Structure 1
Amino acid sequence: MTVDRLPFFDEGQVRAVLSYDDLIPVIRQALMDFSAGRAVQPLRTVMSLAAHTGWFAVMPAVYRGVMGAKMVTFYPGNADKGMHTHQAVIQLFRADTGEPVAIMDGRLITEMRTAAVSAVAVDLLAPVDAKVLGILGSGVQARSHVQALSRVRKFEEIRVWSRMDGNARRFAEEVGAQVTTAEEAVSGADVVLTLTSSPEPVLFGRWLKKDAMVCAIGAVTPNRRELDDEAMRGAVVVESREAALREPGDILLAKAEVSAEIGELLQGKQLDRRDRPVVFKSVGIAIEDIASAKLVYDRISGGDSGKY
């Protein structure tokens, strides 16, 4: 593939071929492969853009015959402007020759792979009979998570809170949820999602029941957190220990202990819950993006990039 013929797949093309039914198994396998050492992935490089209150990150990985990188921006203030907080592109290369094979929009991939990772975690760690879902946040990730989690659990009640009340009410109408306070959304819930851009805790451990499962998604930089210290005393599960001990304020500010990587648990490692909630702290790692992009490329090209 020569550079002058390099295809670009826009968001519409990505959306046409990417489904949660296909993506969730791919993400599950990628997380297992990562923890088993079957992928190459350095920590992402993050550059702060203080003048614009944003971040720019580069996330490379080599996985199953392809290598690539996602270049992603995070601008929390975009939410107040009606814009996406995350924007991204992904570049794929052949691992054997280094030739570029495709560029694709990465915003939707970021959205969907994040929710797919949570679905994998909920399927493994949440009570099998989970009935009540509490959601803190009402943006893009709230919608994608409801779609993805519907593949692994059948919730009978969904509660939602957001600091943006109008958004919360529109989202609640879309998914058949009830708008509540943050405490009411969490109290008694079997599964709790934190999907906000808040720089300080919105979920407090005293609200959680002992067998609850939390997916903490929104805070991924060292100075931001969504959970308080008490919540972070639950059994903490992460995608990558290395990333978890360098990046998220939820772990760093609470000095929380990491119990396991999700990939280790998927391969049979036992989690010591000790009669406490489980917190899956997700920061997003490059192998998730490259595995998702590989799936998109294979679907569109009609081949199998794994042969590379």
Structure 2
Amino acid sequence: MLVVPEALVAGLVSEADALEAVRGCFAAMARNEARNFPVVREALGEGRQYGFKSGLDTAGGMLGVKAGGYFPGNAGRGITNHQSVVYLFDPESGRPTAMVGGNLLTALRTAAASALSIDLLARKDARVLGIVGAGHQAGFQLRAAAKVRAWERVIAWNLHPEMLPKLGAVAAELGLPFEAVPLERMVEADAIITITSSPAASLMARHVKAGAHLACMGTDTKGKQEVEPALVAAATVFTDEVAQSVTIGEAQHAVGAGLLDATAITPLGEVVTGAHRGRASDAEITLFDGTGVGLQDLAVAGMAVKRAAERGLGAVVEV
């Protein structure tokens, strides 16, 4: 088994690599060549979450699981709140083939999925990017979004505004004007990324203009919520996986309230493959419910393992 520690991942997988891997993952899912297994998610108390996401990609020969979760006290320990490891197995024999640090990979694949949705669904003339949230993953979201659109400026809101300068520094690196704004000014944005761990909606219908695209990336557990159900119901909804969207994703609330039917939600992979046209008009609000699927983790981890093996990096251990 090849062990690829967290410290090596940054030199093995780039933002562009993650986008390529996630695009391929969505396409394989749409072609029924890959499937995710049911998510195991447990609350540990004090905001801590732990669980497993796993799946099988028959086309890519990938079988594996990501184990990890969210530990909000980690910031005080000097480490990221999200902690995870990806394990890969030979799909024919079940033999373990790799263990890969999953923290950076999770941030990269989450941002890549968001950026892919923007690339496929946002209006071609989108120029103002809005971001709701300024935690660890927000910077990754901004960098990935900058790969798929030529933004003219970035506006952002966070419940704790003192965290926004760090996101502003990322915008400065990218040469983008940045402004911290109240939620009411999100109506100026052509695309909005929500990336929070909130238990209650912050983004409301009145904060979003006609024709905007929303990439809702923070809700991946029962009870989390970033967007009011009426806004979700008013949008054309896409997702990584419908089963997760209606149970642990942003759509769980609109579906639970009877405002949205699961059959109205389209897998983003169908847009990737051309089976669905995506955005139908410039006035339409599109929404991507990014719940985070195990196959994405396997795709980016597999890329890290391949490159580590090619470069003689990592450690081979007997198991």
TM-score normalised according to structure 2 size: 0.87
- Which residue of 23, 37, 45 corresponds with 2:40? 45
Note closer, same or farther for the CA distance 1:83–1:182 as it changes in structure 2 (3 Å cut): farther
Structure 2, unpaired ranges of 5+ = 173-177, 312-319
- Which residue of 61, 83, 87 corresponds with 1:65? 61
- Which residue of 29, 48, 53 corresponds with 1:54? 48
Percent identity over the alignment is 26
Give the stretch that moved more between structures: 211-220 or 80-89. 80-89
Answer yes or no: is 1:12 the counterpart of 2:18.
no
CA distance in 2, matches of 1:236, 1:81: 38
- Which residue of 115, 136, 143 corresponds with 1:147? 143
- Secondary structure of the residue that 1:134 maps to in structure 2? strand
Note closer, same or farther for the CA distance 1:272–1:138 as it changes in structure 2 (3 Å cut): closer
Correspondences of 1:36-185 after superposition (within 5 Å) = 36-50=31-45, 52-63=46-57, 64-76=60-72, 78=74, 83-176=79-172, 177-184=178-185
- Secondary structure of the residue that 1:254 maps to in structure 2? helix
Q: Residue type matched to 2:49 in 1?
A: W
Q: Does the 8 Å CA contact 1:206/1:230 hold for their aligned counterparts?
A: no
1:35 matched residue in structure 2: 30
Structure 1 runs (4+) greater than 6 angstroms displaced:
none
CA distance in 1, matches of 2:141, 2:35: 28
Q: Does the 8 Å CA contact 2:184/2:206 hold for their aligned counterparts?
A: no
2:209 matched residue in structure 1: 209
Q: Does the 8 Å CA contact 1:205/1:230 hold for their aligned counterparts?
A: yes
1:281 matched residue in structure 2: 289
CA shift for structure 1 position 82 = 5.8
CA distance in 2, matches of 1:150, 1:179: 18
CA shift for structure 1 position 13 = 0.7
CA shift for structure 1 position 79 = 5.2
Structure 1, unpaired ranges of 5+ = 1-5, 304-308
Q: Residue type matched to 1:201 in 2?
A: A
CA distance in 1, matches of 2:37, 2:277: 26
- Secondary structure of the residue that 1:17 maps to in structure 2? coil
Superposition RMSD in Å: 1.8
Answer yes or no: is 1:238 the counterpart of 2:245.
no
Correspondences of 1:282-297 after superposition (within 5 Å) = 282-297=290-305
CA distance in 1, matches of 2:49, 2:40: 10
CA distance in 1, matches of 2:41, 2:68: 9
2:269 matched residue in structure 1: 263
- Secondary structure of the residue that 2:147 maps to in structure 1? coil
Q: Deviations over 1:28-66 (max 9, x none)?
A: 01101112210132121112213x322211111122112
CA shift for structure 1 position 292 = 0.6
Q: Deviations over 1:81-108 (max 9, x none)?
A: 7642211001111122222111111011
TM-score normalised according to structure 1 size: 0.90
Q: Does the 8 Å CA contact 1:46/1:57 hold for their aligned counterparts?
A: yes
Q: Deviations over 1:6-32 (max 9, x none)?
A: 332112211111111222122101101
CA distance in 2, matches of 1:82, 1:105: 17
CA shift for structure 1 position 227 = 0.3
Q: Residue type matched to 2:244 in 1?
A: A
CA shift for structure 1 position 164 = 1.9
